[in-house]
Amino acid sequence: MLRRIGTTGLLVIALTACAGGGGTAGATPTGGKAAPPAPAASTGAGASAAASPSQADPVARALARLSVEEKVGQLFMPVLYGTSADSSSGENQARYGAQTPAKVIARYHLGGVILFPANVKSVSQVVGLTNGLQRAAKEVPLLIATDQENGLVSRMSALMTDFPGASVIGATGEPGLARDVAKATGQELRALGVNLDFAPVADVNIDSRNPVIGQRAYGKDPQRVAKMVGAAVKGFADAGVAATAKHFPGHGDTRVDSHTGLPVIKHTKAEWERVDAPPFKAAIAAGADAVMSAHIVFPKLDPSGDPATLSKPILTGLLRQKLGFDGVISTDALNMAGVRQKYGDGEIAVRAVLAGADLLLMPNDLPKAYQAVVSAVRSGRISEQRLDQSVTRLLKLKQAKGFLAEAPAASAAEAARVLRSAEHRKLTARVESAG
Work out the average pLDDT over 77-83: 97
Bridge partners of residue 5, in order along the sequence: 407
Task: Return the CATH superfamily for domain 54-434.
Answer: Glycoside hydrolase, family 3, N-terminal domain (3.20.20.300)
Per-residue pLDDT, 48: 37
Work out the average pLDDT over 233-253: 95
Per-residue pLDDT, 208: 72
Instruction: Say whether pLDDT at 37 is over 90.
Output: no
Burial of residue 337, with CB atoms counted within 10 A of its CB: 0-12 exposed, 13-18 middle, 19 or more buried: middle
Instruction: Say whether pLDDT at 23 is over 70.
Output: no
Determine what percent of the chain is predicted with pLDDT higher than 70: 85
Rounded Cα gap, residues 172 and 246, in angstroms: 21
Nearest CA to 259 among 22, 67, 435, 7? 22
Determine what percent of the chain is predicted with pLDDT higher than 90: 80
For residues 259 and 425, which has the higher predicted lDDT (pLDDT)? Answer: 425
**pLDDT, tens only, 402-420:** 999 999 999 999 999 999 9
8 C-beta neighbours (distance < 10 Å), count: 9
Nearest CA to 292 among 327, 244, 340, 334? 244
Distance in Å from the first CA to the final CA of the chain: 51
Model confidence at 197, in pLDDT bands (50, 70, 90)?
very high
Per-residue pLDDT, 257: 60
100 C-beta neighbours (distance < 10 Å), count: 22
| Range in 39-48, 89-98, 390-399 the model is least confident about | 39-48
Domain boundaries of the chain, sorted by first residue = 54-434
DSSP, res 338: G
For helices 422-434 and 175-191, give the axis angle rounded to 10 degrees.
Answer: 150
Contacts of 312 (CB under 8 A, 6+ apart): 354, 355, 356
Rounded Cα gap, residues 189 and 61, in angstroms: 29
Angle at 279 between CA 278 and CA 282, to 5 degrees: 85
Per-residue pLDDT, 171: 96
Work out the average pLDDT over 235-252: 96
**pLDDT, tens only, 134-174:** 999 999 999 999 999 999 999 999 999 999 999 999 999 99
Per-residue pLDDT, 17: 40
Per-residue pLDDT, 262: 76
Model confidence at 209, in pLDDT bands (50, 70, 90)?
confident
**pLDDT, tens only, 91-125:** 999 999 999 999 999 999 999 999 999 999 999 99
Model confidence at 207, in pLDDT bands (50, 70, 90)?
confident
| Range in 11-25, 60-74, 127-141, 279-293 the model is least confident about | 11-25
Burial track 338-366 (b if 16+ CB lie within 10 A, e otherwise):
bbbeeeebbebbbbbbbbbbbbbbbbbbb
Per-residue pLDDT, 43: 32
Contacts of 119 (CB under 8 A, 6+ apart): 80, 81, 82, 83, 126, 129
Per-residue pLDDT, 179: 98
Model confidence at 38, in pLDDT bands (50, 70, 90)?
very low
Per-residue pLDDT, 337: 86
| Range in 27-31, 151-155, 335-339 the model is least confident about | 27-31
Stretch (H or E) spanning 308: none
Do the beta carbons of residue 30 and residue 73 sit within 8 Å?
yes
Per-residue pLDDT, 52: 52
Q: For the range 205-210, what are the long-range contacts, defined as Cβ-Cβ under 8 Å and sequence gap of 24 or more?
A: 205/167, 205/252, 206/252, 206/253, 206/275, 207/252, 207/253, 207/254, 207/255, 209/255, 210/251, 210/252, 210/253, 210/254, 210/255
Looking at every residue in the chain, the average pLDDT score rounds to 88
Catalytic positions, written as ranges: 259, 332
Burial of residue 43, with CB atoms counted within 10 A of its CB: 0-12 exposed, 13-18 middle, 19 or more buried: exposed
Say whether pTM exceeds 0.85: yes
Model confidence at 398, in pLDDT bands (50, 70, 90)?
very high
Work out the average pLDDT over 227-255: 93
**pLDDT, tens only, 44-53:** 333 333 445 5
Model confidence at 294, in pLDDT bands (50, 70, 90)?
very high
Rounded Cα gap, residues 132 and 115, in angstroms: 13
Per-residue pLDDT, 248: 97
CA 58 remoteness from chain centre: 22
Rounded Cα gap, residues 391 and 396, in angstroms: 8
